[in-house]
C-alpha cells in the first residue's frame, strides 16, 4: 500500500456498499490489531495486507482495492476469520470485494467465468471428462448422472452470476 492516500480517489459510498451486504456486515468491528495479517499464510506476498484491506474499505479506496492482486491471492483458508478477536469475517469481506470488482467489471477473471459457465451448463463447477467417466466405469464406481440445471439457470438469472456470463 502506498504511503500517501489520494483523496480524489475516495469513494464515499464504498463502505456502505460493503457493510450492507451479508458478507461484509462484520467489517465495522475491526480495530486494526493485525491478527489477520500475522495469521495469513500468504500475507507476505500480498501487495495489500489483510488488515490494510479493511482500513481501505473504511477510507473508501475502492478503486485501488478492486484492482489489487491481494484479493485474488487470498486462499480462503479462514485463518483470519477464526482468529479475529472482533468477530470480523474477513474472508467473507474479501469475497465480497471480489464480487464488487467482478460485477462492476473493474476486473475480469477468466477462471471465475469458466466456473460460472460450467455451473450454468452442467450444475457442476468442473465438468467430468470422458477419461474420468471411463475410469469410473472401469473401477465399477456408480455412474455420475446429469444434473437438472433448470433451477441453477433460474438462480443465476436472478443473481450476478448471469452478469458474469452475460446471459440475462
**Residue 162 Cβ vs other proteins, minimum distance, rounded to whole Å:** 9
In whole angstroms, give the CA distance from residue 72 to residue 98.
8
Rounded CA Rg of the chain: 19
CB 83 within 8 Å of CB 102? no
118 alpha-carbon distance from chain centroid: 18
**Residue 1 Cβ vs other proteins, minimum distance, rounded to whole Å:** 18
For residue 148, the tally of other CB atoms under 10 A from its CB is 9
**Residue 5 Cβ vs other proteins, minimum distance, rounded to whole Å:** 26
- With H, G, I as helix, E, B as strand and everything else as coil, classify residue 121: helix
Catalogue the E-assigned strands of 43-147.
Answer: none
Residues near other proteins (CB under 8 A) are 21-23, 41-42, 45, 69, 72-79, 81-82, 89, 91-92, 95-96, 98-99, 102-103, 109, 111-112, 115-116, 119, 123-126, 128, 132, 135-136, 139, 141-142, 144-145, 147-149, 151-152, 154-156, 158-161, 164
Residue closer to other proteins, measured from CB, 9 or 134:
134
Residue closer to other proteins, measured from CB, 10 or 128:
128
**Residue 143 Cβ vs other proteins, minimum distance, rounded to whole Å:** 8
CB 61 within 8 Å of CB 13? no
Amino acid at each position: 500500500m502506498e504511503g500517501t492516500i489520494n483523496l480524489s480517489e475516495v469513494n464515499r459510498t464504498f463502505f456502505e456498499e460493503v457493510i450492507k451486504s451479508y458478507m461484509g456486515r462484520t467489517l465495522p468491528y475491526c480495530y486494526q490489531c493485525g491478527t489477520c495479517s500475522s495469521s495469513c499464510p500468504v500475507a507476505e506476498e500480498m501487495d495489500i495486507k489483510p488488515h490494510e484491506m479493511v482500513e481501505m474499505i473504511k477510507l473508501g479506496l475502492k478503486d485501488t482495492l478492486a484492482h489489487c492482486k491481494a484479493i485474488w491471492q487470498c486462499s480462503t483458508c479462514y485463518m483470519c476469520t477464526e482468529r479475529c478477536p472482533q468477530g470480523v469475517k474477513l474472508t467473507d469481506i474479501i469475497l465480497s470485494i471480489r464480487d464488487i470488482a467482478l460485477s462492476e467489471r473493474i476486473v475480469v477473471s477468466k477462471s471465475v467465468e469458466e466456473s460460472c459457465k460450467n455451473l450454468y451448463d452442467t450444475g457442476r463447477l468442473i465438468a467430468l471428462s470422458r477419461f474420468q467417466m471411463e475410469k469410473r466405469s472401469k473401477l465399477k464406481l456408480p455412474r455420475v448422472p446429469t444434473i437438472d440445471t433448470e433451477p441453477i439457470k433460474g438462480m443465476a438469472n436472478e443473481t450476478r452470476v448471469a452478469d458474469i456470463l452475460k446471459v440475462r
